[in-house]
Amino acid sequence: MTTTGRKRLDVRNAVPSDVRAIIRLIDRVYPDMPSYAPAMVRGQINNFPEGCFVALYDNRVVGYCATMRVSKTMAFSPHDWEEITANGFGTRHSAAGEWLYGYEMAVDPKQRGLRIGQRLYDERKELAEQLDLHGIVIAGRMPGYARARRKVSGPDDYLHQVVTGKLPDQVISFQLKNGFEPLGILLKYLPEDKASAGNAAHLVWRNPYVDPDEAPEMRVPRGVESVRLATCQLQARAVGDFDEFIRNVEYFVDVAADYRSDFIVFPELFTLPLLSFETKKLSPPEAIDRLTAYTPRLTKELGRMALEYNINIIGGSHPTRTDDGDIQNVAYVALRDGSIRAQEKIHPTPNEAFWWNIKGGDSLDVIQTDCGPIGVLICYDSEFPELARRLVDQGARMIFVPFCTDSRSGYMRVRYCAQARAIENQCYVVMSGNVGNLPNVDNMDIQYAQSCILTPCDLPFARDGIAAEASENVETLTIADVNLADLSWARAEGTVRNLRDRRFDLYHIDWDSNPGAHAPSGGPVPAGGHNSPGGG
């Protein structure tokens, strides 16, 4: 007899590499509903990885659920899906929340006999018990309501008749068998859910191991999740060839690695010294083409250094002519495993657009690293609050800002905006700028910089919101340790809680990233569906 130890069915925590498979699952389960954008699912997972689960059958994702921690007030007050989920990103998760809130459940309709929905709910219950939470709150779909509207006086009456067994409803009946109790109806919870007429059943499961009369005291531990950051304030100097330029960069990578830094960031346009050894003056198009020719060697060297020195390198930015002929300002990020990621500058300055004909990029997403998701905003991009908010919604706790400014006034614009991004998003922001000059290179006549590592302004952080900063206009390396756990504490229990306190009942931002490859307009996917247990 042949035996095998391979598991055909497995339930585990979701990870960012599952995002595409999760979206394909959502599309199969809800073909008539708008889909998620990848950034939304990435945010759900990054913001509370312990609360997101996938079920795999023969290594194929056939189930997914998303959960977050919220306060009793938020869980039990009237709300809609967009408001409580922060437009689907899950950023209203609070590490001090005493209740779990389930806001997504999808099960492949072809795998209903495997009790995948039950397995996912068991994971949620086990999580609530492990964390000593009071229970789970969900908004369950009522897919039978639209068909039964003529038989009932409204959604409340429909729920009552399902609870008393007078009417069937696949989703609500499943929740009741699962130990959930009805609290009432959430009107207009998800307007896109036509089968439920936009309504949802407000349901609760209470943890039997927690005394319901005990006053909750959920405190976020001031733990340690230390990351060492290094920002290089680089001298713009003439070099004799590409190898000399790389030696200058590698010197600082080596020093940062000797200090056991996890990241080092270089300035915007830090590769322009490669134009300093040209024998004739180049026009802007010629200069871009010459720089683009160095791109393969540059990314190869960055990957080599990241691997050899065991450090993540944010390679400033490098003007590049792309395959479609556009010129873009691109940050190449080399991770410790030697892989390369790229982030385009979204907003070129008027000067860049005029002199270099640089076009803005059209995608902005977090980059997954061994220290968690990060974001990169190149100089001018830091002056647009929507960009940093998108990165933080996806789970970024550190944002790197390579910049290149020629005057103090230009520098202060970037500096003040970077500090604002740190405060309003309760994250760390790391700035890196050029100093010195390159007389024979257009647009690099003079430079002004004071690179720094910025924090939110609250009790766990530096008094003035500055973890470390360089001296003005001096080539140097500035290093500081930051504690990512302090961000979790501040977001849950800080003096202000900018992320959690956003008024999603009044406003939110809709993104149209990756045109043609993301969610159509009309809202997010509802929790649950007619082919799955559904509901949260």
Active site residues: 268, 345, 379
Largest CA distance in the chain: 88
Classify 318 as helix, strand or coil.
strand
Handedness of CA 459, 423, 503, 184 (dihedral sign): negative
User: How many angstroms separate the first and last alpha carbons of the chain?
Assistant: 43
Distance from C-alpha of 481 to C-alpha of 473, rounded to nearest angstrom: 23
Measured from the Cβ of residue 353, the count of other Cβ atoms closer than 10 Å reads 14
CA distance 311 to 304: 10
Whole-angstrom CA distances from 13 to 56, 64, 288, 336 are 11, 9, 45, 24
To the nearest 10°, report the CA torsion of 299, 300, 306, 307. Answer: 150
Question: What gap in Å lies between CA 171 and CA 155, rounded to an integer?
Answer: 14
Q: Supply 357's token pair.
A: 């004909």
CA-based radius of gyration for the chain: 26
Q: Say whether 3 sits in a helix, a strand or coil.
A: coil
Spacing of C-alpha 193 from chain mean position:
26
Q: How many CA atoms lie within 13 A of 310 on its CB side?
A: 6
Q: In this structure, what token pair is assigned to residue 175?
A: 């929740």
Is the distance from CB of 26 to CB of 529 less than 8 angstroms? no
Segment holding 62, helix H or strand E: strand 60-70
